[in-house]
């Protein structure tokens, strides 16, 4: 047998309360009312054997019983109507929540519950449920996007590996150092993609661990420039660092900050041809904040693409594709790390062929600063 729901139980409970109150009121009126009325008659001069007094007491009991019965009946009906409306409203809100939870369990991530307007507790419950649904929907979207992105990025190296292996099996291609180098490059590309995906997924999911310390932004810039200078020299690109005097330290993870600068420099060098230049700057950006900027004179970016540059696997044009050697999520990692430190990122460009500037703004006190 189906057990009664909360609404029926709550209504039965309220009916029991009303019945108990009515019975108590009737007993109290029946016991106390005649005694008090008799005392008043005696005080008014009526004798105990007076017929008029006896008739008055009988009339009082009958009238009191009738009035009390009618009052209790009407009061019970009115209270019962209010109780029914109240329990329906509570039951409806809880039924909506239960239905939404069932739909969420069935895979409908867009389901939400309306504001019940039954007090702070119910509002908090609805808000918590909608917040949970938002996180589940975002997680499902992230999972779907991750699968789509991985499938897209794996297609080219896997197809290249398969094609060359089949060509070697068929005798069309030779097993020579050139073929080995190409296959190794595709394997390294897959390994780099896996590492980058793991890093950006942890960062965007809030699972990025930070070893916060007081870091000199100027020293971080100089180390980052020193690390990529051989690559810049080989590519014929001028590389410079400019650090503003008197910069305060930032509360940051040194390794993650180096990763941010390294990714921005890799991106700039990949899209700056020989004869161009890349400049890394560390400067103040108002009270309690600093900005790290990497500016290049390379390919440049169209205005329509600027808002999407920090999205994973976003393609700008043929000049900024996998031929430049990136996994396509370096800038997404930069944004995730910056946000984990309480900062922000931005990109500027005057258009294709006119270079680009990527900036990371960080609070001097780190993510826990007021």
CA angle at residue 268 from 267 to 270, to 5 degrees? 65
Terminal-to-terminal C-alpha distance of the chain:
58
The pLDDT value recorded for residue 323 is: 46
User: Is 80 exceeded by the pLDDT of residue 183?
Assistant: yes
User: Is 80 exceeded by the pLDDT of residue 229?
Assistant: yes
- pTM, two decimals, is 0.53
Return the higher-pLDDT residue of 8 and 327. Answer: 8
Average pLDDT over residues 1-18: 66
Q: Is residue 359 very low, low, confident or very high in pLDDT (cuts 50, 70, 90)?
A: very high
Query: 31-40, 161-170, 214-223, 343-352: which range is least confident on average?
Result: 31-40
Most confident of 105-114, 277-286, 358-367: 277-286
Return the higher-pLDDT residue of 344 and 127. Answer: 344
Average pLDDT over residues 349-355: 87
The pLDDT value recorded for residue 319 is: 40
Each residue of 207-218: pLDDT tens digit?
667 788 899 999
The pLDDT value recorded for residue 14 is: 73
Q: Contact 267/326 with Cβ under 8 angstroms? A: yes
User: Is 80 exceeded by the pLDDT of residue 197?
Assistant: no
Mean pLDDT of all residues belonging to the chain: 78
Long-range residue pairs from 301-309, CB within 8 A, at least 24 positions apart, any chain: 301/347, 301/349, 301/351, 301/352, 301/356, 302/349, 302/351, 302/352, 303/349, 303/351, 306/347, 306/348, 306/349, 309/347
Q: Is residue 148 very low, low, confident or very high in pLDDT (cuts 50, 70, 90)?
A: confident
Average pLDDT over residues 325-352: 82
User: Is 90 exceeded by the pLDDT of residue 196?
Assistant: no
Residue 307: both structure tokens together:
């808002």
Query: 2-11, 70-79, 115-124, 320-329: which range is least confident on average?
Result: 320-329
The domains found in the chain, sorted by start residue, are: 6-108 (no CATH), 122-204 (1.10.287.130), 213-363 (3.30.565.10)
Average pLDDT over residues 2-24: 69
User: Is 60 exceeded by the pLDDT of residue 364?
Assistant: yes
């Amino acid at each position: 047998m189906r057990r009664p729901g909360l609404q029926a139980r709550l209504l039965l409970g309220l009916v029991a309360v009303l019945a108990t109150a009515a019975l108590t009121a009737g007993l109290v009126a029946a016991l106390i009312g005649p005694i008090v009325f008799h005392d008043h008659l005696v005080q008014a001069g009526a004798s105990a054997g007076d017929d008029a007094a006896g008739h008055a007491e009988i009339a009082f009991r009958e009238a009191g019983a009738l009035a009390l019965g009618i009052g209790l009946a009407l009061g019970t009906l009115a209270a019962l109507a209010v109780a029914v409306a109240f329990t329906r409203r509570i039951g409806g809100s809880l039924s909506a929540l239960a239905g939404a939870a069932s739909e969420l369990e069935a895979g409908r991530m867009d389901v939400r519950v309306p504001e019940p307007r039954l007090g702070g507790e119910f509002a908090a419950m609805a808000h918590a449920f909608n917040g949970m649904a938002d996180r589940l929907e975002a997680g499902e979207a992230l999972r779907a996007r991750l699968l789509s992105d991985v499938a897209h990025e794996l297609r080219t190296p896997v197809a290249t590996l398969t094609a060359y292996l089949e060509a070697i099996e068929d005798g069309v291609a030779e097993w020579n150092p050139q073929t080995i180098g190409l296959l190794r490059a595709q394997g390294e590309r897959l390994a780099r993609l896996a590492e980058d995906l793991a890093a950006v997924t942890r960062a965007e999911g809030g699972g990025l661990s930070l070893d916060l310390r007081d870091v000199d932004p100027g020293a971080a810039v100089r180390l980052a420039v020193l690390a990529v200078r051989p690559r810049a020299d080989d590519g014929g690109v001028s590389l410079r660092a400019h650090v503003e005097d008197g910069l305060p330290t930032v509360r940051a993870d040194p390794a993650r900050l180096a990763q941010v600068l390294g990714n921005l420099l890799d991106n700039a060098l990949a899209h700056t041809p020989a004869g161009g230049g890349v400049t890394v700057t560390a400067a103040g950006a108002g009270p309690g904040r600093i900005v790290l900027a990497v500016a290049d004179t390379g390919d440049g970016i169209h205005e329509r693409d600027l808002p999407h540059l920090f999205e994973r696997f976003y393609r700008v044009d043929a000049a900024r594709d996998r031929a430049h050697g990136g996994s396509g999520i370096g800038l997404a990692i930069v944004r995730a790390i910056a946000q984990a430190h309480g900062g922000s990122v931005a990109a500027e460009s005057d258009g294709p062929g006119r270079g680009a500037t990527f900036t990371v703004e960080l609070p001097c006190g780190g993510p826990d600063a007021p």
